[in-house]
Amino acid sequence: MFKGSIVAIVTPFSTQGAKSMVDEKKLKELIEFQIKNGSSGIVPCGTTGESATLSFEEHERVIEITVAQVKKRVPVIAGTGSNSTAEAIMLTRHAAKAGADASLQVSPYYNRPTQKGLYEHFKAVADAVDIPLILYNIASRTGVNIEPETIAKLAADCKNIVGVKEASGNLEQMSRIKALCPANFELISGDDGLTLPVLSIGGIGVISVVANIAPLDVANLVSEFGKGNVKKAQELHYKLLPLVKAMFIETNPIPVKTALGLLGMCEPDLRLPMCAMSPDNLEKLKKALHNYGLLK
């Protein structure tokens, strides 16, 4: 069900007076842009969507808008994880009620739970809802790694835990996940620069940041690999690589949000503690967009 290029979509903001608000019109436009350009799924309220600085009301509203705008054309995988199990259950129940096709569950951040704590957390969320859950392993942000053995136990014990977005950067760990989990358990790349290697070890796609600005190329990379056109997939991988690097010269989503602003697709507004790019990095970003052919 979940494969291909799945975009971790930004949350566009507009400023009215001193107040930052979700720009619902721009969000709908960005969703249409993604669907028209080959993205096979939408993830609202992920890391790239600045979920950490959305109020509960905004978080729920963004998911509702996304579901309504997508109209079942592609899956909506709502980011509803939290470092509070009760909050994760609350947000996931809302996403299920709103019509999301699945939920993306980041490992609890800051708390630094044990592997047993991680297991109990994800199992509690899985037991509370019927929709599929995709785990999100990104220790660089959360401070804790979900070990392959923990993922395998969750996959065995919870029928609705169906995959993992792996952003550890560790291909050996990802290979162990594939070896330990059921054959239908989905391994999804969480790093744009590793999409092709992850596909080569049995991954089924990517939850992508760079797809916000280059959706067709990311979608084609995955589809060409799936057709057996490895050389073409490699060409797209190397074409995308400088752009991917530019998307992470500062903390995500600062560069991609800035890029969307430069391309006139939405305002580049960020919420503190995210802030505007340094002048040097802004010039590097502009150069990367120009070299890719996105910015004149």
Tokens linked to 289? 């967009």
Q: Rounded to the nearest 5 degrees, what angle is found at the Cα of 77, between the Cα atoms of 83 and 176?
A: 70
Report helix, strand and coil shares of the chain as percent, to nearest 5. 50, 15, 35
Q: Rounded to whole angstroms, how far apart are CA atoms 38 and 118?
A: 34
Helix (H) / strand (E) containing 82: none
Question: Of 3, 165, 257, 292, which one is the catalytic site residue?
Answer: 165
Whether residue 133 contacts residue 162, with contact meaning beta carbons closer than 8 Å, is answered with yes
For residue 172, the Cα-to-chain-centroid distance in whole angstroms is 21
Question: Of 136, 153, 257, 292, which one is the catalytic site residue?
Answer: 136
165 is a catalytic site residue: yes
Q: Rounded to whole angstroms, how far apart are CA atoms 237 and 9?
A: 20
Helices 171-180 and 148-157 pack at an angle, to 10 degrees, of 30
Catalytic residues, by residue number, are 136, 165
